[in-house]
Structure formats: C-alpha cells, structure tokens
C-alpha cells in the first residue's frame, strides 16, 4: 500500500493555498468559481468570497480569543486544542464560513446537531466548555443554548458561559454590525477586521497531526454521545483520499446537492470540505424535501448525488420519478453512506433512473474507510452487496476475537488503520483504549469480510447502535431515559426495520411495574388497545420526545413484555430481544415495519 502524501498545515491553508504553495498535482480553483449556492434565494458563495470571508471571521475571532488558553489534550495524550468554538445551526451559506474561519483562527470546532434537546447539548457543552457558540436567534437556537446551561447549573456543574453569537441563516450576504462583539449579538460583529490582512499560523507535520481541528459526536453502546477528536492532518487527508479514490471526479466540473448535514462525518468530508478542494458547485438544501431534491437535479444538471438509504428507497419507489419534468440523466452515480442499502433497491434505482448507487463505509472515528469508484453499472453489478474497496491510505484487517487476522471470505470484526483516523474520545480514556489498539487500528464494532478482490462486505454489528436514516441512536441512552420512569420495571431498546422507509426504527421492550399489567402479560390476556397499556405507552413516548432529538423517538413502537433477556452478569442480551413475546403498541401508526434487530 503506497503511503499517502499529506502536506502539513492547517486545513484552511490547504484549501486556500497561496500561489507559491500550490502543489502542481492539486486542483486549481478559480476565484470566481461558485462553491456553495442557495437556490431558494439565488445567493452564491464563490471560492474567492469563501476565502475572504473566512479570513475576516478568523481575524475577529483571533482578536476576541487571543488570551484564551486552550483546553489541553481533552483527555487524549499527545493532542492539543485551541479555544473551542461550538456550531449549532443547520446547513447554510454561513456554515462553511464559520467552520473554516474558526479553524483558520486556530480554534478547535465542535459540531452539533441543531435539533438536539437542551439536555443533549448540555452534555456536549459540559464536556468541551466552549469559549464561543454560534447559533440561530430565537428559541430553537439561543433558547436551546440557554436551557443547556440551566441544565448544567441544576446538575451542579460549574461551566464558564460562552460568548454566544447568532447566525441568521436566511441572510447572506450580510450587513456587518461593526464593533459589536457582545454576548448575544450577531456573528457579523466579528467581521469588523475584514479589511485587515490575516495570516493563518503555519503548522509543522507534527503540529497538524496532534492539533485537534474538529470534534464530532458519535453515539455508541455506552449511553451518552462521545466526542471524536479529528486532527488537521485527518481533515487535510480526506479530500486527497476522495479524489485519489475516484479520479473520474471532474475538477471544477461537479454539481452536487448539499443536504447531508455538515455536522455529520458524511456531509462534512464528502461535501463541505471536499467541494472547495475540488471546485465543486454545491446546491444547498437546508431542509430535505424529495420533490425539491428532484427538481434541483433536473434543473441544474447535477452530476453526482450524495444520499442515504431512505432516499435510495424513494428513488426506487416514488411515482415522482415518472413525471415528465423529472430528468436525472445528468446524475450518473449516487454515493450512498450512513447505513447499508439493499441490493434490490440499488437494482431498482438503476432500472428506473439510470443512476448507479455506489456504496461506501465509514465512521466518525475513521472517516471514509471504503468507497466504490464512480463507475459504469457493468463494473458495479458483480460486487452488489459490497460496501466498496479500501480508500487510498486505508488498511483494513478482519480479525477474530483474539485479534488474529483472517483470510479472505472469513467473517470477523472490521479493524481500520490510516493516517486520518481519530485521535481518541473527549475525556474518555476507557472508550479510547477500547476503540484504538496499540497498533493504531480502530475497532469498528462491525462484522464483515474481505473477498479475494479486496471488496468489503458488512454482515452484522458487534455494536448495538441503532441507525435511523443515517443517524446513530444509542440503545443504552434510551434504556436510561425510559428506565428512569417509576412506572417501568425494566427496559431494553433495540430496532425494527422498515422496508417502506429503508431504515431501522428505534423500538423499546418494556416491562411494566404494575403487578396487574405484568400478570395480564404473563397470561397473554391483554391486547394493544388496553387502556392502561395505551396510557403507559403514551407516558413512555412523551418522555422520550421531551428528552431526545426526533431521530431517537420510538418510531418502531413499544413491546410490552414479561421480562427483558439479561445475561448472568445482568447485561441486556439485545440480540435476543427479537424473540421476546409481548404486546406491540405503535406510538406512530404510520411507520411501516418488519422485525429485524
């Protein structure tokens, strides 16, 4: 395996090199090339404007935070951080500006899902203690951040409050609010240095490897989300890897729809950071709507799609594909990630639209592990069911429980090693030690095998994480929330699969504390329309809705049962939950499902 040539430096310097530092082999993007475009308003962010606006913001942040000390290694030895900036707003023209401007200023940026509840945001704030927060004005932005600090106060945690700046995602270009850097003011107050030259601090190779650039939040099996540290070196490597693995990408010739959230590893690496490097034109779709998605492809002649399995299902089944205005002929391929996609769906999408769905595999902890080159159907078809081949620089080992490497075709845990994997988890040495071994391999928790041609096939998960439309849901977190109700004796969260939606749906197996209900369940003498059972289901549903983002809601329903299977040590045996008999109450009746853990 050839070593990757990863240049040193800040990711901003890599995406916007000076004339003298441009490598002959890297793409050259014209200053007036549109990079991010908001079709709903007609506003466009060119490569040159993106460079200048990010440097203007960097100058303002540097002036604001020049005396901030940084946060040490956040519990991961050998790493360092700058002042921490938290982003809490959806995809918009502002997102790449705030993200790259913060990185240019030497900050470490933590990315959050803007639909998280105050309790969930409080966990992230408590772990990272940001100096600056960028959020939307109003209850869904400022209100959530304020409520998160109130949660921390009630928990007795003393956390220094951040400087909060509001981002009006409907206003770009913007009017600079000169000199206003006060808490709660518009982010544009930080742009007052726009006419001053700002130079991004140079980084050596060692500094780029150790300096944390971004913190992503990954749900797992142990409850609350874990902060994944990614270095500048990891960010710089990804655009190089993506282009090297797919040389058919056309420099300055790609047109994409950017709806995959930029706070997620898929949207961040494959769109947000790759587009400025490649000179791709991204049509932003802040809130996904399938009809608008199809119209953008048809009108703007989109060249490659970035999708998740539920959208593949829609492409395979929606009657909109047959409308005379719907023309997907410009989109030769669709890069699909976030979760596995069925072979039948891939075949049907190709039959109906001509679009070849190519699978990739990756994690927040690893970035891109595999990809399928953008290729013709006759090259993809023989490998249907595979998740691609290792991207350049990625080493995959399939190992048994003892760590012994297995032969092609043998199933074991998928281990990954590359120069761009995570440095570790925020303040969680135990989780870091469990995920990163002494040889530098990330233990993915997924089971699979490599065939003789080095194609990766995913067959199962050691991890118990639920994947809902590309989002990760921790069953242990749902266990804790539901199990905290006085009316519940025991609970085990799992998932149920929806063929209609092409995704797993969170499901809870619940043992009522009520002796009367428990007795009826034991006798098999109760049905889903029993009044007490419905009332208990509503209590559980409302509790989850109040404490969790919508993708964690119990869309798969609740199975009321006599007992949850546990091991001798008391751990839930989740693989056996699908065999538990009980009464299935649908919390959201429109969700079509079939059981699959």
How would you write 52-93 as a 3-class SS string? HHHHHHHHHHHHHHCCCCCCCCCCCCCCECCCEEEEECCCCC
Give the closest residue to 503 by CA, choosing from 358, 308, 327: 308
| CATH number for 542 | 3.30.300.30
Burial class, 208, CB count within 10 angstroms (exposed 0-12 / middle 13-18 / buried 19+): buried
Portion of the chain with pLDDT greater than 70, in percent? 93
CA distance 262 to 378: 32
From 461, 484, 504, the end of a domain falls on 461
CA distance 249 to 246: 6
Q: Is the pLDDT of residue 196 over 70?
A: no
191 against 82, higher pLDDT:
82
Asked if residue 229 belongs to a domain, the reply is no
Q: What is the pLDDT of residue 175?
A: 63
Query: In the predicted model, what is the mean pLDDT of residues 263-283?
Result: 96
> Mean pLDDT of all residues in the chain?
90
Alpha helices (H) along 436-530: 475-483, 515-523
Q: Is the pLDDT of residue 377 over 50?
A: yes
* 350 plus 442 within the same structural domain: yes
> From the CB of residue 295, how many other CB atoms can be counted at a distance below 10 Å?
16
* 531 plus 504 within the same structural domain: yes
Asked if residue 227 belongs to a domain, the reply is no
pLDDT digits (tens, 9 = 90+) for 31-50: 999 999 999 999 999 999 99
| CATH number for 419 | 3.40.50.12780
Domain limits at 368? 245-461
pTM listed for this prediction: 0.83
Q: What is the pLDDT of residue 49?
A: 94
Asked if residue 323 belongs to a domain, the reply is yes
* 288 plus 433 within the same structural domain: yes
DSSP symbol at 155: T
From 166, 201, 236, the end of a domain falls on 201
Give the closest residue to 198 by CA, choosing from 62, 69, 48: 62
Q: What is the pLDDT of residue 179?
A: 54
Asked if residue 240 belongs to a domain, the reply is no
CA distance 173 to 375: 38
* 129 plus 142 within the same structural domain: yes
Contact 458, 361 (CB under 8 A): yes
Q: What is the pLDDT of residue 294?
A: 98
* 457 plus 470 within the same structural domain: no
Q: Which of 83-87, 125-129, 469-473 has the lowest mean pLDDT?
A: 469-473
* 525 plus 390 within the same structural domain: no
Strand partners, 417: 395
Where b means 16+ CB within 10 Å and e means fewer, 411-450 reads ebbbbbbbbbbbbbbbbbeebbeebbeeeebbbbbbbbbb
* 394 plus 309 within the same structural domain: yes
Q: What is the pLDDT of residue 596?
A: 41
Asked if residue 485 belongs to a domain, the reply is yes
Q: Is the pLDDT of residue 178 over 60?
A: no
pLDDT digits (tens, 9 = 90+) for 309-363: 888 888 988 999 999 999 999 999 999 987 777 788 899 999 999 999 999 999 9
Contact 551, 473 (CB under 8 A): yes
Asked if residue 188 belongs to a domain, the reply is yes
Q: Is the pLDDT of residue 597 over 50?
A: no
Rounded to whole angstroms, what are the CA distances from 538 to 132, 256, 549, 585? 38, 42, 17, 10
Number of domains in the chain: 3
* 189 plus 249 within the same structural domain: no
User: Can you say how many angstroms the Cα of residue 298 is from the centroid of all Cα atoms in its chain?
Assistant: 27
* 453 plus 471 within the same structural domain: no
Q: Is the pLDDT of residue 185 over 50?
A: yes
Q: Is the pLDDT of residue 205 over 60?
A: yes
CA distance 369 to 363: 8
Alpha helices (H) along 211-320: 232-245, 265-267, 274-278, 290-300, 309-317
* 508 plus 439 within the same structural domain: no
* 270 plus 145 within the same structural domain: no
* 316 plus 387 within the same structural domain: yes
């Amino acid at each position: 395996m050839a070593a990757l040539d990863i240049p040193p430096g800040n990711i901003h310097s890599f995406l916007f090199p000076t004339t003298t530092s441009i490598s002959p082999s890297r793409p050259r993007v014209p200053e007036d090339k549109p990079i991010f475009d908001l079709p709903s308003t007609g506003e466009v962010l060119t490569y040159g404007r993106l460079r200048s606006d990010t440097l203007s913001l960097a100058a303002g942040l540097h002036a604001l935070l020049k005396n901030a000390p940084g946060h040490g290694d956040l519990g991961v030895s050998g790493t360092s951080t700058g002042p921490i900036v938290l982003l809490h707003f959806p995809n918009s023209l502002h997102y790449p500006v705030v993200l790259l401007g913060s990185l240019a200023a030497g900050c470490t940026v933590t990315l959050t899902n803007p639909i998280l509840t105050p309790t969930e945001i409080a966990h992230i704030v408590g772990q990272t203690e940001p100096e600056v927060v960028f959020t939307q004005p109003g209850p869904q932005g400022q209100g959530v951040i304020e409520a998160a600090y109130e949660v921390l106060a009630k928990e007795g945690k003393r956390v220094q409050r951040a400087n909060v700046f509001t981002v009006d995602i409907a206003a770009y270009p913007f009017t600079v609010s000169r000199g206003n850097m006060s808490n709660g003011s518009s982010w544009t107050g930080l742009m007052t240095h726009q006419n001053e030259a700002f130079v991004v601090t140079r980084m050596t190779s060692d500094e780029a490897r150790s300096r944390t650039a971004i913190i992503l939040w990954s749900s797992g099996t142990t409850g609350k989300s874990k902060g994944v540290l990614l270095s500048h070196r990891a960010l710089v490597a990804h655009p190089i890897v993506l282009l090297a693995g797919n040389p058919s990408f056309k420099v300055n010739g790609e047109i994409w729809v950017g709806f995959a959230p930029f706070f997620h590893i898929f949207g961040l690496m494959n769109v947000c950071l790759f587009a400025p490097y490649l000179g791709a034109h991204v049509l932003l779709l802040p809130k996904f709507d399938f009809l608008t998605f199809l119209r953008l492809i048809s009108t703007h002649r989109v060249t490659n799609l970035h999708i998740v399995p539920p959208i593949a299902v829609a492409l395979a089944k929606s009657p909109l594909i047959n409308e005379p205005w719907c023309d997907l002929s410009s989109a030769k391929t669709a890069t699909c990630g976030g979760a596995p996609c069925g072979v039948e769906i891939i075949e049907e999408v190709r039959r109906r639209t001509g679009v070849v769905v190519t699978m990739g595999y990756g994690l927040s902890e690893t970035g891109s592990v595999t990809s399928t080159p953008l290729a013709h159907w006759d090259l993809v078809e023989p490998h249907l069911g595979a998740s691609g081949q290792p991207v350049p620089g990625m080493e995959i080992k399939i190992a048994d429980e003892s760590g012994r490497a297995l032969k092609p075709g043998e199933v074991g845990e998928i281990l990954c090693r590359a120069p761009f994997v995570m440095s570790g988890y925020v303040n969680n040495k135990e989780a870091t030690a469990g995920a990163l071994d002494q040889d530098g391999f990330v233990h993915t928790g997924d089971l699979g095998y490599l065939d003789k041609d080095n194609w990766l096939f995913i067959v199962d998960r050691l991890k118990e994480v639920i994947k809902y439309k590309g989002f990760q849901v921790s069953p242990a977190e749902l266990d804790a929330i539901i199990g905290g109700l006085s009316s519940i004796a025991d609970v085990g969260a799992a998932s149920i699969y929806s063929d209609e939606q092409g995704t797993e749906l969170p499901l809870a197996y619940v043992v009522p504390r009520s002796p009367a209900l428990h007795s009826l369940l034991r006798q098999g003498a109760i049905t889903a329309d029993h009044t007490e059972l419905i009332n208990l289901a509503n209590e559980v549903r409302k509790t989850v809705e109040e404490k969790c983002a919508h993708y964690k809601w119990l869309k798969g329903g609740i199975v009321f049962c006599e007992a949850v299977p546990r091991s001798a040590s008391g751990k839930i045996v989740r693989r056996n939950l699908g065999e538990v008999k009980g009464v299935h109450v649908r919390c959201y009746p429109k969700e079509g499902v079939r059981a699959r853990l």
